[in-house]
Each structure stands twice: as C-alpha cells, then as structure tokens.
Structure 1
C-alpha cells in the first residue's frame, strides 16, 4: 500500500477547527513536548501512522472520539481510575490550513486501514510526509461517523493548545462528564473507584 497506488484525495482543512486528544498531564522522561503536545518518544512505532524519525500526534474530532480511541477502545475490558488521573483532555486549534491525505471512506477497499497490522500504514504515512502532507485524516475505528487525524511535525507546528482539563478532578475524584459518557457508551467498567467517588 503506497500513496501512488491508493491515490486518496488531498484536502485542506481551514484553521480554527478544534481537535481533541487524551494525553499525559505530565510528560514522562523521554517524552516529546511540542506546542502543548506531550508525545511518545520518536521511533516508538506503536501507532498506525507513526514515523520512525519524528513525533506524530493523534487527535479526534470530538471529546468522546478521543476517549474511545485512547481509553475506551472496543477491545478494552476495563479502565483503571489511576490511569485516568494521569491524563488530561486537551484541545487544539490549527493556526493555519492543514494539508491532509484523506483516507475516510477507503476502509472497505483497504481493510489494513483498520487492522492491527501497522507496518503498511506506517510506510504509507512516510509516503504522505514525503509528498508534503501535514498528516493523515481517517475514519475513527472506535466511534462511527467520526474522524481522527495523525499530524506529522509540519502539522504539529500549525497547532496551538487552547485548553487542558483533567479527566479526574484533583482532590474530589469527580470524573469529567465526557469520561462518564464514554464509559457508559462503551460499557467498559471503571475500576479502582472508591465508594465516596
């Protein structure tokens, strides 16, 4: 699977659209910090469109989609409250047009776009970056009719953080409303909650 064979459309998304991600509130040693993003180290290659030599950032078109993609995936059997305590819902906005390769609607034709075989999609991402794209726009495999984006560093450079809220309110144990909705919608049980919470 390469960019020329697939020949997907290239779209330009206007600035000021809001995108969401769940990320660690505090960076771990080795994390990449760029423009408000806290990202895994370069070269980890754990995500569908990761690049071997630069950081990538995954975002979603809604708060719920971000939670379904990160914490409440369909294969999850539970979600521990301590994991949520270490993460924030962070929103970003583009400061300039984003030029993205649009893969939405190609999932039936190319099932690898939603499979766990990432090698092909990672090579595809490298092709997209070489062609001057800022990232890849794709359909969420976890939240029907919603979209996600993977941004390369050129796309990350066009983003600004606009808000960051804890998933679990410190000192109270209260859950962010989107966490409650995602847990209910996914039927993934939350564990580690104290009775008072």
Structure 2
C-alpha cells in the first residue's frame, strides 16, 4: 500500500502536552529500547500493523481503555490466561513537542486493510510516511470503534513526560481502575 492509493493525505498536528496511553512490559532485554518512560520493541521481527522496517515504532491510544483493548482485550480473543496482566503496566505520558501525523482516520471505512493484520500492506505505507517526514500517524482503533490510536516513528526520549504508570495486576493502582472498565466492556473470561 502506498500514499498514492489515497485521494490525499491530511496532516494532524498532535499538540505539545497531548496525553497518550500505552500498555507495555517495563522489563528490558536485548530486543527492547527505552525512550524515556516508554519501552519499545526494537528487534528485527515486526509484529505491529504500522511497524517501521528499520526503527522502533511507538503505539499509543488517546484513551486508557483503548490502550487496554489494543494490547489485551482484543476483539478476536475468546479467553485470557490468568497471567495476561502480569508484568505489564499502563502508562500515561504527555508529549513535550508537537508532532506532525499523517491522518488515516478518514479512510478507515474505505480501506479496511488499515485495521487488518495484512502487515506487509500497512508496514509498506508506514515506511513511505516516515520517508515523507511525518512524525507518525493517527488512525482509528482496530479494537475499539470510534477511538483513536497514535503511532510515532522512532520517537526521541525527551518527547515524553511520564504522568503516571501503574501495573495492570495491582488491585489499588490507577491502571487497575481502567482494567475494570475494559474488562466490563469486553466480557472476556479469564482461565487458568
């Protein structure tokens, strides 16, 4: 998929101070890189729809429950293991500078591939958008209708200011509050 497949490519200016949410595993290993409080996959395998071929890509949601639906409570999931939340955290960060994003939201209905798992198509588009000097993209969530996700291409560490972080499995934490909201809406049973 190429930019030329779209009638035009609008730009969305993500403002400085924008709050973004992400579910991540905070533990580091050789396949991860830290960008401030954000831990990104940096290995050669590319699993995400909008992964770059040669640099890390940061996936965020504009709402905490959307981050949980994207990472844990996915539409095609029929059950979750009791350990699904262990070792993972929900973080909230604020951006320290504006970011110029390709706006894919108007095309969600006409290009279902944007919300599919046909990775070759969407990753090809991502690489072209990065070459065209976009800082990332904004798209509709594939997991929660009407909500948005922000994908940032190889973001610098100083772009993020940590607002809070909370383990998903910690009963008293802020992250757990949002786990309860996502769990109530998704209705996915947990099994041993």
Structure 1 length normalisation: TM-score?
Answer: 0.89
Higher mean alpha-carbon deviation, 157-166 vs 85-94, is at 157-166
Any conservation in 1 of the 2:65–2:181 contact (CA below 8 Å)? yes
| Distance in 2, Cα, partners of 1:191 & 1:161 | 33
Do structure 1's residue 178 and structure 2's residue 178 form an aligned pair?
A: yes
Tell me by how many angstroms 1:50 deviates: 0.3
CA deviation profile, 1:6-53 (whole Å, cap 9, x unmatched): 122011111111000000032234211112111112432100010111
Aligned to 1:163, what secondary structure does the other structure show?
Answer: strand
Match of 2:115 in 1: 114
Partner of 1:8: 9
Q: 2: distance between equivalents of 1:97 and 1:111?
A: 28
Matches within 5 A, 1:88-167: 88-154=89-155, 158-167=159-168
1:6-45 to structure 2, matched below 5 A, reads: 6=6, 7-45=8-46
Q: Deviations over 1:40-89 (max 9, x none)?
A: 12432100010111000100011100000010001112222323121000
Q: How far apart, CA to CA, are the structure 2 residues paired with 1:95 and 1:160?
A: 7
Native 8 Å contact 1:43 1:51 kept in 2: no
Q: How many residues align?
A: 191
Tell me, which stretches of 5 or more residues in structure 1 are unaligned? 193-197
